[in-house]
Every structure is written in C-alpha cells, then in structure tokens.
Amino acid sequence: MRSDRLHLLVKKSYNIAVVGATGAVGAELLDVLERRAFPVERLRVLASARSAGKTMRFHDEEIEVQELREDSFAGADLAFFSAGGDISRKFAPIAAGAGAVVIDNSSTFRMNPDVPLVIPEINGADAREHRGIIANPNCTTAVSLMALFPLHVAFGVRRIFASSYQAVSGTGSRAIAELKQQVAQAESNSPAAPEVYPHPIAFNVLPHVDGFLDTGYTKEEMKIENEGRRIMHLPDFRASVTCVRVPVYRAHSVAISAEFDRPVSLEEAYEVLRNAPGLDTVDDPAANRYPMPIAAAGRDNCQVGRLRRDCAFDNGLAFWVSGDQLLKGAALNAVQIAELL
C-alpha cells in the first residue's frame, strides 16, 4: 500500500465522494454509510449533468447532487463508484491520482492483476495491496461465494455447476420500472413493450444476462469462475453457470452443485455454514423454511439452505443461496471494504 494512503488508518472521519449517487446502488451506498455510522466528515454526491441540482438525503440533511467532473475529487479520501464501466474507466484513475482510494463497483478493474478484488469475509487482507483502486466483485459472484468459500476452506472445492435467478434491480432502476409497468399492462391485457430487456420480463424468465461470448456463455456466467479464482486464490477453480433474469424486484438466488476434494457430510457442512460470517443458515424444509429473495431483500447477510448430498458427485453438495445484490452484491460490500481501510 502506498504510504500516502495511510491516512485512512488514522483519520477520525473522512471526505467521501459517491459517483453514480442517484442510481440504485448509489442510493443504497448512502443508506449503508448512514446506518453503519461510517465516519463521514464531508459527503459529495456526484452524477451526470442531467441529475445535477437534485438533492439526496443523508443524516437528515439535503445534499445537492453535483455534476461529475475531473476536479470533483479534490480533498476526497474515499471515492465509491457505481456509475458503470465507462465512467469508472475514465474517472477512477483521476480520483486515485487526486489522492482518494477508489472502491469501484463496475467490472472494469476486476481482472486487473494490480487491482485487488475483495470480499472482506473472504480475502480482506488483499485490500492492503491496493494502489489506489479496489474492485467490488460481481453481485452473483459475491452471493455465491459467501456460501461456497467456507465450504471450500473445509473441503476444498474443485468445480461447481450453478444456475442463477437474478432480480431486475441488478440491471438498475429502469429495469425495476419496466417490470412494474409490464405487470400493470398484463393486468389490463395490454401488450408489454420491452425496452430494457429484449423480451418481456413480467411473468417470464430470460436465460440471458449480459452479452454472449463465442463460447455460448455470457459474460455474466463467466464472472463466477474468473472472479472466484482471484477472490479465493484458487487458479484451478471451474464453474459452469447459467444466469437467468427473473421477475423479482430485489435479491438474487443461486442454485449450486459443488464438487470437493474431500467427502462432505451434511453435519460438517451445516457446522461450517452456521459459523460463517455474513451468512444465515435457513434450512428446515419440513416447515417450508429455505432462502428466498423476498426474505433476503434488505438484509445484510446472505442466506443458505436446501443442503443435500449431490447425487451426481462422489464428494458433492447441492445448496441454494439468496442474497440482496444491492447490499452484499454491491453497496454493503463496498462499505465493508472502506471499513477495512
């Protein structure tokens, strides 16, 4: 870590910039900073020119949104970015050059070997190696690894097969509005007019999240393998994933079948997961208790359940994870990284 970043360890409060503050993740960031009582000295909320002049509430104070400019980071200690890859690519190095530590929620820097990719409960120590920018993982990766990593520590994961069930809020506020509109249109027997997605999302599922690659997988589907290798320090980790967008407003779910180096007993797996930080075990099928997005939404912890020995693997375990992708998959994880610093 560069010596000029050490001030983050000793200051009592910090000057914070939030880029993309008016978006779904940006608004969630402000809420997480407030309710976790992060020591904020001065807050600067930044967005595009069309949002400049609006106000956002923080600690009962109305803060005016400023247009993002190259000089927006003067005096900032920390800069949270949640405005998309193009904005991060241009402005994150500028913010870091101005002396801020950048915590970026886009995919721009995740595979850059000079940029730590961090989930604090898993590889928080990696944050110490930053050179001004730290990357937040993909939301589905974060939710999945919260349950997979403690099992890996105990049993040694080799590979997984997984399917995701991803809420529309992972796409942003326009997708939330589109689902609401299409539900209303369906009730009035009006034809749905998709704009955010290529097909209607209301009462439908789309096996299509992010752009397609030549392999037939999407970019989103490869993130669990590629990012998982970096976060878990496991270069041989393999993941075959199908990502599906579902008509849920908030919180992603993932069905995972994992193969391990060592035999897995259910008793040991339950013990591991019950003691894992940031994770709640919800698993009582007889009482209809299992993780669901409606229960995980708005909660910091992810939920894991439906544990069973995988009948397709000798050393296999199948399980189901739900987690709020705006929190552990984005804003909460970013603030936890800041808390580490």
Q: What is the pLDDT of residues 6-49, one digit of tens each?
A: 445 567 899 999 999 999 899 999 999 999 999 999 999 999 99
295-301-303-304 Cα dihedral, nearest 10 degrees: 180
Q: Tell me: the pLDDT tens digits for 119-176?
A: 999 999 999 999 999 999 999 999 999 999 999 999 999 999 999 999 999 998 899 9
pLDDT number for residue 220: 97
For tokens 């249109």, name the residue.
185
pTM (2 d.p.)? 0.93
292-144-248-165 Cα dihedral, nearest 10 degrees: -100
Amino acid at 255: A
Residue 67 makes CB contacts below 8 A (sequence gap 6+) with: 46, 47, 48, 49, 51, 52
- H/E segment holding residue 56: strand 55-58
Of these residues, 139, 152, 243, 302, which one is catalytic? 139
Domain borders along the chain are: 3-108, 141-325
**Which tokens sit at 330?**
């984005």
Catalytic (active site) residue 302: no
pLDDT number for residue 185: 93
Domain covering 3-108: architecture: 3-Layer(aba) Sandwich (3.40)
Of these residues, 130, 152, 243, 252, which one is catalytic? 252
Residues in the chain: 341
Residue 255 has pLDDT above 90, yes or no: yes
DSSP label at residue 188: T
Average pLDDT across the chain, whole number: 95
Q: Tell me: the pLDDT tens digits for 175-210?
A: 999 999 999 999 888 888 899 999 999 999 999 999
Backbone phi, then psi, for 162, in 5-degree steps?
-145, 155
Percent of the chain predicted with pLDDT > 90: 93
Q: Are 135 and 117 in contact (CB under 8 A)?
A: yes
DSSP label at residue 20: T
Residue 244 makes CB contacts below 8 A (sequence gap 6+) with: 163, 164, 165, 166, 205, 206, 207, 209
Catalytic (active site) residue 199: no
Q: Taking Cα atoms as reference points, which of 165, 320, 169, 324 lies closest to residue 246?
A: 165
Q: Tell me: the pLDDT tens digits for 259-305?
A: 999 999 999 999 999 999 999 999 999 999 999 999 999 999 999 99
**Which tokens sit at 110?**
């995740």
Where do runs of H (alpha helix) occur along 188-247?
Answer: 219-232
Q: Give domain 141-325's CATH number out of 3.40.30.10, 3.30.9.10, 3.30.70.1560, 3.30.360.10.
A: 3.30.360.10
* pLDDT band at 328; cut points 50, 70, 90: very high
Pairing of strands 101-104, 133-135: parallel
pLDDT number for residue 191: 87
